[in-house]
Copies of this chain bind each other. A is one copy, B any other.
Amino acid sequence: MAEFELIERFFADLAPRGPGVELGIGDDAALLRPPPGRELAMTLDTLVAGRHFLSDTDPEGLGHKALAVNLSDLAAMGAEPAWALLSLTLPEADEAWLAAFGAGLGALARRHGVALVGGDTCRGPLSISLQLTGFMEPGRALRRDGARPGDHVFVTGTLGDAALALEGLLAGVPVPDALRRRLERPEPRLAEGRALAGVASACIDLSDGLVADLGHICEASGCGARLEAARIPRSGEASKWLEARGDWRPLLAGGDDYELCFTVPPERLGALAAGGIFCTRIGEMVQGSGVTVLDERGEPLPPMSGYDHFA
């Protein structure tokens, strides 16, 4: 099957609708009409087999995740997703694999109003690059550099489930479905991100682990953060695993959470509460630099780094 047939057959109908699409898949470039008076938020992420996912991950989940990690970046800016381009490198043109991958990607795209407007396919070691564009009201984006000492630190959802699932899969032990789903089908926090625009002073999505990612907010904002480990929200499954092991690492340094970590100035806590977002206060921003994590007795835990794609 030729390259162009591949693209057109599997991807053109996945998610053809979207705002401002003048010309989608099938030409040298897509033609798009941005809405007047909006800024664009643009992100590009690559998932590599054996690095970001296990080679035997089911293709439907992979299609979901390739889009979800980019949607999570837009969620962290408070943007509304619109257009995607997909570049797929495959060891072989396997139609069943492509159909399942497309089903996973297409379902999530339709759910969030994303149109797949272009891209390419080629043969090589399995990897997926996806570029996503969203819309923003000018000046409302949730950047990393707006946190100040005294701001409260929050996270959405629960942390550590995906890291525990990955650890279980790598060790070959049974992994509860609820944990596995967090690893393979992360749900990007788009509604939460949009609700935080104008409320949060800084925001980041958690892909490399809480300490590492909050560390980027600290660095960009020129201050530090102090967290209380016991406040970090976790699922019932994660609590059970953690009790048995007594190890904070999955909550603090595990990757793939795809929750939002954000800071809120004291005077905007009321606005946050009014927004009805499921989130938990885990600490505060302080003078200084870096992230300090205190245990139940108020003693600092030893430093731990996050997931580093070159580690």
In the bound assembly, the distance between CA atoms of A11 and B287 in angstroms comes to: 30
What is the CB-to-nearest-CB distance from A79 to chain B, in angstroms, rounded to a whole number?
7
Which of B29, B120, B310 meets A41, CB within 8 Å? Answer: B29
A124 within 8 A of B: yes
CB distance from A118 to the nearest CB of B (A): 6
List of B residues within 8 angstroms of A131 by Cβ? 42, 44, 85, 131
Question: Contact between B27 and A143 (Cβ–Cβ < 8 Å)?
Answer: yes
| 8 Å CB contact of A85 from B39, B43, B51, B144 | B43
A119 at the interface (CB under 8 A from B): yes
Cβ–Cβ < 8 Å partners of A28 in chain B: 43, 73-74, 76-77, 144, 203-205
Which residues in B have their C-beta under 8 angstroms from that of A23? Answer: 141, 143
Contact between A309 and B121, CB atoms less than 8 A apart: yes
Of the candidates B34, B36, B119, B124, which one forms a contact with A51 in the assembled complex, judged by CB atoms under 8 Å apart? B124
The answer on a CB contact under 8 Å between B51 and A133 is no
User: A303 in the interface, Cβ–Cβ < 8 Å?
Assistant: no
Q: How many residues of A contact B (CB 8 A)?
A: 69
Contact segment of A1-9, A177-185, A224-232, A275-283? A1-9
Distance in angstroms from A112 CB to nearest chain B CB is 15
State whether the Cβ of A289 lies closer than 8 Å to any Cβ in chain B: no
Q: Tell me whether B122 and A46 are in contact (CB under 8 A).
A: yes
Give the residue of B6, B74, B118, B144 whose beta carbon is less than 8 angstroms from that of A44: B118
Q: Which residues of A contact B (CB under 8 A)?
A: 1-4, 6, 22-23, 26-34, 36, 39-46, 48-52, 73-74, 76-77, 79, 83, 85-87, 89, 93, 117-125, 127, 129, 131, 133-134, 136, 138, 141, 143-145, 203-205, 216, 220, 308-310
